[in-house]
Structures are given as structure tokens and as C-alpha cells.
Amino acid sequence: MSKELDEWHDRLGGFVGRPTLEEYADKYADHFVMERNGGVIELRMHSKGGPAIYSLGLHNAWGQAWQEIGNDPRNEVVILTGTGNAWLAGVDPASFAQPFHEWPSDVAHELYYDAMKLLENLVFGVDVPTIGVVNGPGFHTELALFCDITLAAEDAVFSDGHFAAGQAPGDGLQLAFQFLLGPKRAAHALYTSDRIDARKALDLGLVNEVLPADELLPRARQIAQAMMDRPRSTRRLTHAIVQRPFRRRLLEDHGFGMAHELFGIFTDRPGRRG
């Protein structure tokens, strides 16, 4: 953001300050390492400095972080990736020790809210180009697939395990599969929970490029710099055009999927399946 713009804000009066990288990088430090270079902000998921472990704390942080990143006009391109050789390296058992159907209603509502904002705030709240870098195996890869451009490591995999685990697949990855793979391929992937390896994902149109792990971030930065070389309005308006189909998909189907997944979780309690 330019000094001239700051001066105009002062002249016009009453402008509220935008969030700063220093503030929110510290706020989300337990879940993300954030660094910005020349307008390109890199958001790297981690747990205690190593590969990220999925927890409901991370689930909660995703949507909120997108909101603040999107509200900082100094961010011109966003790169999202993981740490080490995994996109997500496992699950925090403490987050899921108590079955969802035993949760208090306010806590259950918060789960629903966070699940909605995880994608909504990425797609509707970030108005600059986004690059997802899937640096290895993991889940919740819908975050990378909903980015404008998606790069994948050679050992990355894409799979939705909800149905195999006895849950309806409705929290976002199914939307990416239906939109990018088509309804029949998506149906097969959702019912079988088959793993789609990186090369097949490239052939099917899930990702744009597959690269050795050590070439992923350099390539993402190269693409980001090419974006930065274009005028600011061109960047942002192109992002709006690229994201419009994803926005339509979320608007029409995201709440439907989430409601069905959570209804199934709270209905199919032990002893009541049939």
C-alpha cells in the first residue's frame, strides 16, 4: 500500500487501519509460518516447526487467517503450502477423542461455522491470485485445489476418505472433485476413497503441474513473480474471473454438503446405524 494512499486516507478521514502482517503472523504462529516478499505472502502450515498435524485448532485457524490475509492490501499474491514432505502428516487424537454427537450444541455450531469459513473466506475473502502447493501426502487438499493454480509434489495424493469412514463427504473436497473431475469420476472417488496420485491428478485436471519436492516453491515463486509483473488491477480482476466458477460452486452447494455431512455424523450414532 502506497504512502500516497495513506495520505488520502488521512485526508478523507475516518479510515480504519487494515491488519498488518506482524500482527496476524504472530497471532497464527502456532499453525502457520507467514513470510512476505515483494507483495507475495507465503503461508506454510506447520505443527511445532514440523509437518502440520490436523487438529480442530488448525481447522478453526484456516478461515480466520484467510479473512485477515485478504483484508491486508499489502498482500498481492498468496502461496499456501505445508512443511517438510507432507501437506498434513496426521491427526491430533485429542481433537477427536470425544465423538461429535456428544458435543454441546454451541461447540457443534462452531464446528459447522469453521468448516464453512475454511473455504468461503479463501474464495470470497481473498481477492488476489492464489497458488496452492501440495508438498506431499495429506488430506483437506480442497484448500489447494480451490486456489487459482495448484502445484503438486510427485508423491502427493488426493483422496476423500469420508465415505469409507462412515460419513457423508460434504466438507469441501467433494466440490473440488465434482467440479474438476466431473460428476462420474467424482462419484467413483467419493464412494471408493481411492487415492489419486499426482501424475493421475495432472492427467485428470486436478492440478496444473507436478514437480520434484525441491522445485515446488521455486516454481510457485516464479509464477507469483510473473503475476506481480502485471498491473495491480489486472492481477486482481483476473483472479476474480478465474475464481468465479469456484464462487458459484460454493454459493450453490457448500452449505448443502456441510449440512448433510454433519447431519449424518450427529444421526449415525453407535447402535443406530442401519
Annotated catalytic, 142? yes
Strands (E) across the chain are located at 32-37, 40-45, 77-81, 130-134, 149-153, 157-158, 196-197, 209-211
In whole angstroms, give the CA distance from residue 4 to residue 135. 39
Q: Which of 68, 142, 154, 261 is catalytic?
A: 142
The one-letter code for the residue type at 249 is R
Give one DSSP letter per residue of 178-207, joined into a string. Answer: HHHH-HHHHHHHHHH---EEHHHHHHHTS-
SS3 at position 110: helix
CA atoms within 13 A on the CB side of 106: 0
Q: Is the dihedral of CA 251, 241, 144, 189 positive or negative?
A: positive
- Helices (DSSP H) in 124-172: which residue ranges? 142-145
Report, as residue numbers or ranges, the catalytic residues: 142
